Amino acid sequence: MEAKILSGRDIASEIRLGLKNDVEKLKGNGVQPGLAVIIVGDEPASRIYVNNKKKACDEIGIRSFEYALPAETSEEEIIELIKTLNCDKNIHGILVQLPLPPHINDEKVLLTIDPDKDVDAFHPVNVGKIMIGNYRFLPCTPAGVIEMIHRTGIDLKGSECVVVGRSNIVGKPMAMLLLHEHATVTVCHSRTKDLKTVCKRADVLVVAVGKPKLIKADFIKPGAVVIDVGTNRMENGKLCGDVDFEEAKGVASYITPVPGGVGPMTIAMLMKNTVKAAEI
């Protein structure tokens, strides 16, 4: 039996529709959510992502403020801009598109964002709140993944969950969110011994390492839910995930495609955080 496809596009569309109604209510109270996006340089993947965010804002009714700065912009200039945005009452969310050019310290820049406007949830204050389970905002990609897992109907309580990848953006917060749902969580990385055996224990397998088609059919427990966060460009120009989709779909019960899986959910969760920031 072939796996059911978890379409991030379809789920994200439903979420955006709900958010559109929330924005209309806020406007009725004299508040229009505003999102400021800072992009430094013109890295193609970042530009596509920023454009997609702008489209989502337009669809939902969020005011979008874009600050496209040249690659040579100094760290001090970016920090001063963020301080100005922190004080702007029309802006409820601030997002700095990563990666930043090498001469800029990402950590220093992210620390400048007001935690109440940190809709990416990268500020240490928000990271700490996620750790203890008392959070306002969740990181957009892990939040989108949890939403997709819920749609499968699986009960995460006591489930064996394996996260492949330990980045601050996906892997670590993903593990925390699964723990908050009472799952038993294993985090794998480049030094994990016998990755295949560990993955094969998983009722839910989340993969976010940036290695094309790393996870084959024999890594997957029959009937597992497989969430592929990876986006890789192959030599032929096509996109693929960290999971070998054609192999995995014959073993998993649910699987996300690439593209059209986790990507649209990340942007939907960013919109959700921005609306929540405006409500706060």
Residues carrying an active site annotation: 53, 97, 120
Q: How far is CA 96 from CA 37, 43, 48, 166, 172, in A?
A: 6, 13, 14, 21, 20
Check if the beta carbon of residue 186 is closer than 8 Å to that of residue 163.
Answer: yes
Distances (CA, A) of 250 to 164, 205, 226, 262, 266: 20, 15, 12, 20, 26
- Give the C-alpha separation, 31 to 183, whole Å: 38
H-type alpha helices, 113-139: 124-132
